[in-house]
Amino acid sequence: MKKINVLIVDDSAVVRQVLTHRLESDPAITVQGVASDPIFAMERMRQQWPDVIVLDVEMPRMDGISFLRKIMAERPTPVVICSTLTEAGAETTMQALSAGAVSIVTKPKAGLKQFLEDSTSDIVEAVKIAAKANLKRLVHKEASSQAPAPKLTADAILAPVAGHAMAQTTERIVALGTSTGGTQALEAVLTALPRVCPGIVIVQHMPEKFTAAFASRLNGLCQIEVKEAQNNDRVMPGRALIAPGGKHMLLKRSGAQYFVEVVAGPLVNRHIPSVDVLFRSVAKVAGKNALGVIMTGMGDDGAAGLLEMRQANARTIAQDEASCVVFGMPKEAIKRNAAEKVISLNEIPGAILKF
C-alpha cells in the first residue's frame, strides 16, 4: 500500500523531532519533510506535495490559520492542527476548523515531549483519518491510548430501550450526531434553519473547551439559538444544544417538555460525548416525536442508537457518501438498516423543517 506522506510544520524543534519519530513508527506513514514555519513549508511543498500536513498555529513569519486558508484556496490538502490551546485560544481553533482543518490534536504548554510520546495513537489516528477525508466537502465553506480500552456501548450510561416512549406530544425533537467533518456540516445545516424550527440536540465529537467556543461561533451565525448544553437546559423550538466535550448528554422528559441531562461517565464507542448515548436516550423518551440524523464521521458511533430510534418509531436519516467528509458513521448506520432515508447534506435542513 502507498504510504501517507506527511509534512510537519512547527517552529519547535522538539515537536518536529518527536512527531517525526512517532509518525514514522507506523508502517502506513512516512514523514516526507519538516518545516519551522509556513514559508519554509511552501518551499518544500513545491518539490513534493504532501498527503497530510500536521500544522501548528502560532509560528513566525506566517501564522498557521493564514497558511491553512492559503492551502485550501490554492490546493486543498488534509490538515491536522497540532497546537497548544488555552481557554482564550479556543476561538482560534474554531477558525481552523472552519477554514478546513480535518481535526485537532491539543498539545499542552508543559510536559510537551512526554505528551507527544504518550499520545502516539491519537496523532497517528488523526493523520490516517485526515488522509481519507473528502476535501471537496471540507472546502465547501478525534481519544484512545496505545492499548485501547474495551469498546463500551451505551449500556455503560443507560439501559436499553424497553417498550415505547410516552404518548406523542406537540413537541418535536431533532437529534444530530457527527464527528470528523461535522463542524462544517453542522454550520451548513444550522445556518439554513429559520428561527421557528424544532428543538435540536447535538453530539459533535470534540474535546473539552472546544464545544463552548464552537457553539458560541454558531450562535453568532445562525437565526436559531445555539449553546453548549448545561444540565437541565430546556429543549425548545428555535434552540440547538451541543453536548459539552468530556460529558455525555441525554434527553429527559418532564410532562410534555424535554430537557437535557449532562453527565460524566466512561468513553462509549471510545467517545465522550457519544452519539449512541444521546440517540438511545431520545429513543427512550421521545420515540415517534423525534427525528435522528447521523452525519459525517469516522467509526460507528451512533449507528446502534439510530437503529434504536427507528425501532422506537422515530424518523431516521443518514447523510449520503458524496456529501460526507468521512462516510464511516452514516455507512455503518445504513448497513444496519437504521436509516429510513439517505440524503445529501443540503437536503437535511429541509428534512428537519418538514418533520
* Residue 223 CB neighbour total at 10 angstroms: 14
Task: Based on the residue annotation, tell me whether 271 is a catalytic residue of this protein.
Answer: no
**Radius of gyration of the chain, Cα coordinates, nearest whole angstrom:** 20
Three-point CA angle 184, 185, 190, nearest 5°:
100
The answer to whether the beta carbons of residues 244 and 215 sit under 8 Å apart is no
- Three cell numbers written together for 21: 519519530
Task: Based on the residue annotation, tell me whether 248 is a catalytic residue of this protein.
Answer: no
Measure the CA–CA gap between 237 and 48, rounded to whole angstroms: 51
- Choose, from 36, 83, 179, 323, the residue flagged as catalytic: 179
- Choose, from 10, 37, 301, 320, the residue flagged as catalytic: 301
Task: Based on the residue annotation, tell me whether 205 is a catalytic residue of this protein.
Answer: yes
- Choose, from 205, 281, 300, 323, the residue flagged as catalytic: 205
User: Active-site residues: which are they?
Assistant: 179, 205, 301
